[in-house]
């Protein structure tokens, strides 16, 4: 019952998932790997006994590949996902689903035409224990209707290559997905404020940024994105409702008292913060595959929304204006009214 | 060396301060009281052995009055403060200093003409232990230059008489003052977002509101004002700097574990939250009076800034636009460049 | 209505209380001071306009002395307290009430003979907000019947003059009193364990010590006394009941995140920890005096119990055995059955 | 490279581990199962494609069994472990290693004779993230030499069949092992205090109990064992050293503010508390097997010490005396001096 998994893209995250599916999560076996760099593919494939194939299309069509994992460069995602749909094979695509809203819509069209969900997008926060508890609290009605969400996404530093647009496209995209899911609501407008920039950044970078989202139901979200905060990797989220609030916990850590201070460690990278979420994400996806179920995680529609909303956020940053996200109506196939 | 104190206005807050100066804070004695309601003045004055006088001017000029406490209706503040300055007597004025920026400027002009600080405005948060610790941390450079401040000001409920404008004028005004002081910076623009309103409010009220301030140094402040949050009285403040952050503590309370929950009580009113700050505010003011020093608390200039900034915030709420606060240059008398 | 207060003993704590009654707590005035060192008495008396008298008896009998504050050397307490009772004047005696159980019993006998409570002993923890909340929780039944109490009493360092016996007599005595009051129960036996001693102590000192108390109701208390813990002044108390537990809060302090750590300051001395409790203790005592009520704080009986229990604890430390406290039956005058 | 695992005992914990090794932890495959109840063995074996064998000896000797997992009734453990050693096969034995010190010593003798470590005992707390962080802090010297450890082990309820001796044998045994490891020290004496018993227990049960351990280095440990605490499953541990302390975190959980309370959930069973530790325990054990390394987890010596110390604790409970643990000298084979 082991799922044969074909991996397209053996870069950092691809290798990470190959390790995960081999040593941490049961139920799958890596059977084929490709990468634009053949040596890199070989290096990833050999230790797990997988074949190296010459391109993504070969991986998708290989007999020993039951499901496809797309971890290549973002601009190539759409092609591989469309291939997988054409082959009728389940496909897990790391974010983004595609780098343009247009390509996301093509995938949606193809999936609807196929008539069954094949695509899952890699937004792992939905599998984080804290966010899941938060969703339970919200859904239980314990805090009443949500009105406001306060968030912060802080990284200690980023490399020179990180651009101002990436604050939305690569960083805030996680909050965009998880908040849509938490609130069961859609983001309809976006705005970006730029505080005085930190001196500890690349000269070209606007950091920090404050993103302001409004949802269809009128919930207001403020999200601080600060990718050179120095002190640690820190994810904060607080949802305020009509009768109370719910707040994400800090990761637990021993408390130490010495020299007049009570201290606990703050994490310094996202691996420590979301490793369990990644494991759970794949564990549930593979269990679903093994059971023959459609995937229940972030859908192609969610991938489209994330791409469209973060693109609008980049436009908001660059224009200084409030930008409407102008999402298409959600098709009935994805639980929408249209 | 006891300071004879004349009280103008014997309503709720006036009575509260009369009690404070009689039973909690040493160094002052209430010698005269007035109120537009003579019976109310009598009721406040009798137990502390003070004389009832027929109006504010009489209180200011009375021999047994060394210093004046203005706790009357806001629109009358300016007149009493100007009288005190004219009489060369120290005056503590509950916020607002005056209800219009013009009146505040008249007070400033009079005080400058007098040549010595006589006026202190009743913004008690500067005396709160948590905010003072936060200021020490910021001033120490431990978190680097401040870039962003996240705040929340939540009350369980407000009466029907509370209006949307009061969210700025009566509620956010405390944050406006304490943030200017914390950051040693000026607020130059203001904007208000209105999330979906809570169902647990008066029909005429916009609640919650999110106020967005920008300072001269480019710090961005977001302040949630939510005056019908139901669950408690809750003041949050987190300052994010280039190298770290500092966050206000929650008031301490015993922790209880029962029935699968670890719980601590949340306060339900501001008395419990800021009682100590009020006591310290008066203790320091009176100690300064006794020592013959000029007051070191919020000045007439701070009173002007608070009135102007909150008025701009009401305009921002009503117009939906970003509104410049357009403060006058700060006179050298108040530590400014002009 | 101001209470004239005579102070016997102008050492550190005497001066502290003189300041408190002059500048912090209203309702009293220091009218007379004595000390075995006349210069020290003068230094304490002059700034507050009090007379210096030649001995404690003179203070007790002075007309301008309505109530007596005993802050002299412990072995002299009994004499002054007995004098005050003989004079029918209320007396506040810093701990210990007397250094021997026998002397405490003489005071009790005298007070009973007088027929009205005059004596209050200075155990300030009963006035600490945290312990008061804990007592409310226990008395409410929320955690069920108490079964166990875990405590720690840690000081950063002590001087060379601090002896092993003082761990009970001067340090644990505060827990002994507050636990009897919290639990409304009596301590019937005591035992002391001596862990490996810290290297950061005087050579003659047993530090830390673990004291084990048993109450009449069978509650077990473990108390870590560690007076050279280096890191701070730290008071912990957790009461475990049949259905839950209640734990003292840590004093609130701003949280700071920098360099991979989330930190809050730990206090370094007891002044910061119990200053408010001292203020409240005197505020309530003086309010009671002004109202002509008997004192409601720790009684002569409580002073006797604390002296007897800590003496038994020293015996337990020195003998290595479990020692019964063998308290006399509590007289009906103090709420007892006998 | 998959390890063939034979399971002896298909009760609750056996089934749990079969699930774990099949669905959560990679690298092993259940190949054989036995149980005194053949139907139960069949039920456990069938879904994972394992053979059912008629007894433990058959499991140990089966060709497809590379390593043995002993999860049978405690009194049978020694026999199965000795069989495995005789067969030269690695064996993971759930606690206790054996129910008598004598049997543990026989296992030690056999393992030393074999000349290589084969045995690992199932004390999972050494794999808990919090305890591991605590050990790092202690080993780093950050808190100085350990002097005292305060612990609590609380279960909401236990069934009628739980006896007073089980508080040591089944419950405290986890602390006994993890504290020996944390401190790298041996427990030399044990004592048990019995507070007033909770009314919420079986009539025959002494609950709670306070166990007092002393180590060879003079560290004092107090451990509250309270197995009917009602409110939750709660594990506390605080190590106090010469310069500071380190405390186990509470499991993280979202915080909720409603109705005047700030609350976080307390776990209600040990599965939630130690599931990750169990997973890590097996992940590391299997990785070691796959690499051909000797096991690094709790050894037969640790199993012996735990059995001897908890037996002494039962004697201490029953006699009311301090009982020496009288452990044999630790053989050089297990890192000892002898």
Distance CA A157, CA A93 (A): 26
Which two structure tokens, joined as six digits, stand for D311?
């037996």
Residue D203 CA neighbour count, 13 Å, CB half = 0
Q: Which chains neighbour C (Cβ–Cβ under 8 Å, 3 or more pairs)?
A: A, B, D
Which two structure tokens, joined as six digits, stand for A277?
């979420």
- Residue D216 contacts residue C195 (beta carbons within 8 Å): no
Mean pLDDT value of segment C22-36: 94
Q: Is the dihedral angle over the CA atoms A17, A53, A80, A166 positive or is it negative?
A: positive
B265: which strand partners?
D261
Distance CA A309, CA A176 (A): 8
Closest CA to A193 of B189, B326, B146, B311: B189
To the nearest whole angstrom, how far is the Cα of D300 from the nearest Cα of chain A? Answer: 28
Give the closest of A25, A130, A258 to D252, CB-based: A130
Distance CA C218, CA C262 (A): 40
| Predicted confidence (pLDDT) at residue B198 exceeds the cutoff of 80 | yes
Which segments of chain C are extended strands (E)? 3-8, 28-34, 51-52, 67-70, 91-94, 119-122, 146-154, 187-193, 209-215, 220-226, 234-241, 244-247, 255-258, 261-265, 323-324
Which two structure tokens, joined as six digits, stand for D16?
């749990």
Task: Please say which residue of B90, B105, B122 terminates a domain.
Answer: B122
Mean pLDDT value of segment C222-247: 98
Closest CA to D90 of D277, D276, D291: D291
C187 belongs to a structural domain: yes
To the nearest whole angstrom, how far is the Cα of A183 from the nearest Cα of chain B? Answer: 13
Residue B127 CA neighbour count, 13 Å, CB half = 20
Reduced to 3 states (helix: H, G, I; strand: E, B; else coil), residue B152 is strand
Q: What is the mean pLDDT of chain C?
A: 96
The side-by-side arrangement of strands in the sheet containing C91-94 is C51-52, C28-34, C3-8, C67-70, C91-94, C119-122
Distance CA C309, CA C300 (A): 14
CB of C142 within 8 Å of any CB in chain D? no
To the nearest whole angstrom, how far is the Cα of B182 from the nearest Cα of chain D? Answer: 27
A152 and A239 together in one domain: yes
For residue A4, CA distances in Å to A67, A68, C76, C242, C310 come to 6, 9, 88, 54, 73
C215 and C259 together in one domain: yes
**pLDDT single digits (tens) B40-54:** 999 999 999 999 999
| Minimal-distance CA residue of chain C relative to A251 | C262
| Predicted confidence (pLDDT) at residue B337 exceeds the cutoff of 70 | no
ipTM for this model: 0.95
B80 and B202 together in one domain: no
B74 belongs to a structural domain: yes
Chain D CB contacts of B265 below 8 Å? 260-262
CB of D123 within 8 Å of any CB in chain C? no
For residue D224, give the DSSP letter: E
CB of B230 within 8 Å of any CB in chain C? no
CB of C264 within 8 Å of any CB in chain B? yes
| Minimal-distance CA residue of chain D relative to A249 | D254
Chain C CB contacts of B265 below 8 Å? 133
- Interface contact flag, A262 C250, Cβ < 8 Å: yes
Distance CA D211, CA A272 (A): 36
Reduced to 3 states (helix: H, G, I; strand: E, B; else coil), residue A154 is strand
Output the pLDDT for position D132: 98
pLDDT band, residue B72 (cuts 50/70/90)? very high
Which of A143, A149, A189, A242 would you mutate first to test chain B, the one with the most B CBs within 10 A?
Answer: A242
| Predicted confidence (pLDDT) at residue A338 exceeds the cutoff of 70 | no
The CATH code of the domain that includes C99 is 3.40.50.720
- Interface contact flag, A137 D256, Cβ < 8 Å: yes
Reduced to 3 DSSP states, what percent helix, strand and coil does chain D have, rounded to the nearest 5?
Answer: 40, 25, 35
Parallel, antiparallel or unpaired: strands C323-324 and C187-193: antiparallel
Which two structure tokens, joined as six digits, stand for B147?
């870039």
Chain D CB contacts of A129 below 8 Å? 252
Output the pLDDT for position D135: 98
Residues 6 or more apart in contact with residue A158 via CB below 8 angstroms:
A166, A202, A205, A207, A227, A228
Percentage of chain A with pLDDT > 70? 99
Task: Please say which residue of B56, B88, B122 terminates a domain.
Answer: B122
Give the closest of D230, D234, D260 to B265, CB-based: D260
The CA-based dihedral angle spanning residues B114, B117, B121, B122, taken in that order and rounded to the nearest 10 degrees:
-140
For residue C336, give the DSSP letter: -
DSSP element (H, E) containing B114: helix B101-114
Mean pLDDT value of segment D310-329: 97
Q: For A208, left (φ over 0), alpha (ψ -120 to 50), or beta?
A: beta
B309 belongs to a structural domain: yes
Output the pLDDT for position A271: 84
The side-by-side arrangement of strands in the sheet containing B51-52 is B51-52, B28-34, B3-8, B67-70, B91-94, B119-122
C48 and C74 together in one domain: yes
C332 belongs to a structural domain: no
C165 belongs to a structural domain: yes
Give the closest of D26, D246, D254 to A134, CB-based: D254
Which two structure tokens, joined as six digits, stand for C48?
């507050």
Task: Please say which residue of A106, A122, A138 terminates a domain.
Answer: A122
Give the closest of D260, D265, D268 to B231, CB-based: D260
Percentage of chain C with pLDDT > 70? 99
- Interface contact flag, D246 A254, Cβ < 8 Å: yes
To the nearest whole angstrom, how far is the Cα of D239 from the nearest Cα of chain A? Answer: 10
For residue D321, give the DSSP letter: S
Residue corresponding to tokens 């704080």: C297
Mean pLDDT value of segment A225-229: 98
| Minimal-distance CA residue of chain A relative to C269 | A260
Residue corresponding to tokens 């939540």: B154
pLDDT band, residue A272 (cuts 50/70/90)? confident
Q: Is the dihedral angle over the CA atoms D296, D297, D302, D303 positive or is it negative?
A: negative
B281: which strand partners?
none
Mean pLDDT value of segment A191-202: 96
B263 and B147 together in one domain: yes
Task: Say if residue A51 is preceded by a cis peptide, omega within 30 of 0.
Answer: no
| Predicted confidence (pLDDT) at residue A336 exceeds the cutoff of 90 | no
Output the pLDDT for position D159: 97
| Predicted confidence (pLDDT) at residue C195 exceeds the cutoff of 90 | yes
Chain C CB contacts of B259 below 8 Å? 243-244
| Predicted confidence (pLDDT) at residue D337 exceeds the cutoff of 80 | no
The CATH code of the domain that includes B152 is 3.30.360.10
Output the pLDDT for position A240: 98
CB of D256 within 8 Å of any CB in chain B? no
C250 and C215 together in one domain: yes
Mean pLDDT value of segment B149-155: 98
- Residue D134 contacts residue D182 (beta carbons within 8 Å): yes
Chain A CB contacts of C259 below 8 Å? 230-231
Which two structure tokens, joined as six digits, stand for B258?
């029962």
Q: Would you tell me how many other CB atoms lie within 10 Å of the CB of residue B3?
A: 18
Which of D254, D261, D274 would you mutate first to test chain A, the one with the most A CBs within 10 A?
Answer: D254
For residue C59, CA distances in Å to C50, C73, C117, D13 come to 11, 16, 20, 76
Residue B191 CA neighbour count, 13 Å, CB half = 13
Chain C CB contacts of A254 below 8 Å? none
C304 belongs to a structural domain: no
- Interface contact flag, A260 C234, Cβ < 8 Å: no
Mean pLDDT value of segment C89-103: 97
A-D CB pairs within 8 A amount to 89
- Angle, nearest 10°, between helix axes B77-86 and B101-114? 10
C157 belongs to a structural domain: yes
Output the pLDDT for position D216: 97
C247: which strand partners?
B255, C238
Output the pLDDT for position B272: 87
Output the pLDDT for position D256: 98
- Interface contact flag, A222 B222, Cβ < 8 Å: yes
CB of D255 within 8 Å of any CB in chain B? no
B120: which strand partners?
B92
C30 and C63 together in one domain: yes
C122: which strand partners?
C94
Distance CA A312, CA A303 (A): 14
Distance CA C198, CA C203 (A): 10
DSSP element (H, E) containing D80: helix D77-87
Number of domains in chain C: 2
D62 and D211 together in one domain: no
Residues 6 or more apart in contact with residue B319 via CB below 8 angstroms:
none
| Predicted confidence (pLDDT) at residue D336 exceeds the cutoff of 80 | no
Distance CA D334, CA A120 (A): 51
Residue-number span of the structural domain to which A327 is assigned = 128-269+304-334
D14 and D88 together in one domain: yes
Output the pLDDT for position B338: 53
To the nearest whole angstrom, how far is the Cα of D92 from the nearest Cα of chain A? Answer: 20
Across chain A, how many H-helices and E-strands are there?
Answer: 10, 15
- Interface contact flag, D257 B268, Cβ < 8 Å: no
Residue B280 CA neighbour count, 13 Å, CB half = 17
pLDDT band, residue D270 (cuts 50/70/90)? confident
**3-state SS, one letter per residue, for A24-38:** HCCCEEEEEEECCCH
Reduced to 3 states (helix: H, G, I; strand: E, B; else coil), residue A219 is coil
A299 belongs to a structural domain: no
Q: Which chains neighbour D (Cβ–Cβ under 8 Å, 3 or more pairs)?
A: A, B, C
pLDDT band, residue D138 (cuts 50/70/90)? very high
Distance CA C289, CA B43 (A): 25
| Predicted confidence (pLDDT) at residue C78 exceeds the cutoff of 80 | yes
Phi/psi at B14 (nearest 5 deg)?
-60, -50
CB of D65 within 8 Å of any CB in chain A? no
A151 and A257 together in one domain: yes
Helical H runs in B143-238? 166, 173-183
- Interface contact flag, A257 C268, Cβ < 8 Å: no
Q: What is the mean pLDDT of chain A?
A: 96
CB of C149 within 8 Å of any CB in chain D? no
Output the pLDDT for position C261: 97
Chain B CB contacts of A224 below 8 Å? 148, 150, 240
D182 and D316 together in one domain: yes
B66 and B210 together in one domain: no
Parallel, antiparallel or unpaired: strands B187-193 and B323-324: antiparallel
The side-by-side arrangement of strands in the sheet containing A119-122 is A51-52, A28-34, A3-8, A67-70, A91-94, A119-122
| Predicted confidence (pLDDT) at residue D1 exceeds the cutoff of 70 | no
- Interface contact flag, B210 A242, Cβ < 8 Å: no
Distance CA B219, CA B184 (A): 11
Distance CA C81, CA B32 (A): 42
């Amino acid at each position: 019952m082991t799922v044969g998994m074909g991996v397209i893209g053996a870069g950092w995250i691809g290798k990470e998932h190959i390790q995960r599916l081999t040593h941490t999560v049961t139920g799958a076996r890596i059977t084929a790997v490709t990468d634009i760099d053949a040596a890199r593919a070989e290096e990833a494939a050999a230790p797990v006994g997988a074949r190296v194939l010459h391109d993504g299309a070969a991986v998708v069509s290989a007999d020993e590949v039951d499901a496809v994992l797309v971890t290549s460069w973002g601009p190539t995602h759409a092609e591989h996902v469309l291939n997988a749909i054409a082959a009728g094979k389940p496909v897990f695509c790391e974010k983004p689903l595609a780098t343009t809203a247009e390509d996301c819509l093509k995938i949606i069209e193809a999936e609807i035409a196929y008539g069954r969900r094949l695509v899952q997008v890699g937004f792992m926060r939905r599998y984080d224990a804290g966010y899941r508890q938060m969703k339970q609290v919200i859904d239980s009605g314990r805090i009443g209707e949500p009105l406001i969400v306060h968030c912060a996404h802080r990284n200690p530093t980023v490399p020179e290559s990180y651009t101002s647009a990436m604050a939305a496209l690569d960083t805030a995209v996680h909050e965009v997905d998880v908040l849509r899911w938490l609130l069961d609501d859609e983001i309809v407008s976006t705005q970006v404020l730029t505080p005085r920039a930190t001196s500890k950044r690349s000269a070209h970078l606007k950091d920090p940024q404050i993103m302001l989202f409004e949802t269809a139901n009128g919930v207001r979200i403020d999200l601080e994105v600060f990718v050179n905060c120095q002190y640690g990797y820190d994810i904060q989220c607080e949802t305020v409702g009509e009768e109370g609030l719910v707040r994400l916990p800090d990761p637990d850590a021993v408390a130490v008292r010495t020299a007049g201070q009570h201290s606990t460690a703050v994490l310094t990278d996202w691996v420590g913060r979301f490793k369990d979420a990644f494991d759970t994400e794949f564990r549930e996806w593979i269990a679903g595959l093994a059971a023959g179920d459609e995937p229940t995680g972030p859908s192609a529609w969610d991938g489209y929304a994330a791409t469209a909303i973060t693109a609008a956020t980049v436009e908001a940053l660059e224009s200084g204006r409030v930008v409407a996200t102008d999402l298409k109506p959600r098709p009935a196939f994805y639980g929408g009214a249209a």
